[in-house]
Amino acid sequence: MKHNSILITGASSGLGRTLALTLARPGRKLWLGGRNTERLEETARACISRGAAVHLKACDVANSAAMAEWVHGTGGLDMVLACAGITGGTRKPLGPDQPATEPEAQIRRIFETDLIGVLNTVLPALELMQHQPRAADGMRGRICAISSVAGLVSFPGTPSYSAAKAAVDRFMVATGGNAKKAGILLSSVVCGFLDTPMVARNTFPMPSLTDVNSACRRILRGLARNERRITFPLWLVAGSRFMDLLPIRLAESYYNNQPAGAAGSMPEPDLS
Ligand SMILES: NC(=O)c1ccc[n+]([C@@H]2O[C@H](COP(=O)([O-])OP(=O)(O)OC[C@H]3O[C@@H](n4cnc5c(N)ncnc54)[C@H](OP(=O)(O)O)[C@@H]3O)[C@@H](O)[C@H]2O)c1
């Protein structure tokens, strides 16, 4: 099928921005979302200079009514890329016998953005695509959400992020088994660290940090092949799956001795 109309959340930065720029070309309509209008407009200008027609939406993905109105207002979509997300780790313990903690406001905001925000994007897109005619290849559309390798494990450094990303991955892959009968691909991206602003201020070494342009190419190749789960880098995915098979006590003691995700090593997310 042709991909003439594409909606991207999180298009004002990082992976969403890179996907928008890569997909921008003459004859293509891009529907780009984010909250920071200045950065969103920067992405739009770069996409327009590559020949795409661009429509912007400044909107919080946690706002289900606004998201549904936006998605349905496009009139038809060939591809949806749900990239909007935030991350956050634990705070340093206050004393020697105190636990590392994740503030409640952060826990709630991560679930609202990374899980509910994905549902607010994917559900109206599914409804819209079900009413679109099939293309010659039988497809009605493709919807992709960005999960994470963090979702494969119970990582004590980022508990809410791990949980939200696990839910996104399971939802996309499981629902995708039903949606494919309607000619709609639901795909989950399970990737490791990407060199985007999200991780730029982390104070620990990030194993296999992937260049965002390579990540973008891998994701688009996976979608063209109708992959329901797009995974990279493979060694990190395989290692994480192995870690999740270990007794919790063993996995935890390994993670608690790693610099990655140690309490206080990630900047606190913007909860606005
Ligand atoms: N970077 C990594 O290492 C990594 C690894 C695995 C998975 N991921 C996932 O990849 C996706 C893209 O992240 P990134 O690395 O490109 O991060 P990024 O550069 O920080 O970009 C995040 C994007 O999400 C948008 N966003 C955040 N909260 C939002 C909200 N409530 N409503 C609407 N938009 C919101 C931001 O836009 P505004 O600021 O304009 O709202 C921004 O465009 C995320 O889902 C992330 O969890 C990243």
For residue 270, being part of any structural domain is answered with no
Number of domains in the chain: 1
Does the C-beta of 168 come closer than 6 Å to ligand 1? no
For residue 106, being part of any structural domain is answered with yes
CA proximity to 146, closest of 232, 226, 66: 232
Q: Which domain holds residue 15?
A: 5-255
pLDDT tens for 176-193 read: 999 999 999 999 999 999
Looking up tokens 């499981």 gives 174
For residue 266, being part of any structural domain is answered with no
For residue 152, being part of any structural domain is answered with yes
For residue 88, being part of any structural domain is answered with yes
- Closest residue by Cα to atom 19, ligand 1, is 14
CATH of the domain at 14: 3.40.50.720
Task: Report the distance separating Cα 122 and Cα 239, nearest Å.
Answer: 29
Best residue among 7, 8, 12, 13 to mutate for probing ligand 1, ranked by most atoms within 8 Å of CB: 13
The number of beta carbons lying within 10 Å of the beta carbon of residue 230 is 21
What pLDDT sits at residue 12?
98
CA proximity to 67, closest of 35, 102, 93: 35
pLDDT tens for 100-145 read: 999 999 999 999 999 999 999 999 999 999 999 999 999 999 999 9
For residue 264, being part of any structural domain is answered with no
The Å distance, Cα 134 to ligand 1 centre, comes to 31
For residue 172, being part of any structural domain is answered with yes
Does the C-beta of 208 come closer than 6 Å to ligand 1? no
Is the pLDDT assigned to residue 1 strictly greater than 80? no
pLDDT tens for 76-99 read: 999 999 999 999 999 999 898 999
Question: Which pLDDT band, with edges at 50, 70 and 90, does 265 fall under?
Answer: confident
The Å distance, Cα 81 to ligand 1 centre, comes to 12
Region for residue 4 given its phi and psi (left: phi exceeds 0; alpha: psi -120 to 50; beta: otherwise): alpha
CA proximity to 220, closest of 37, 12, 25: 25
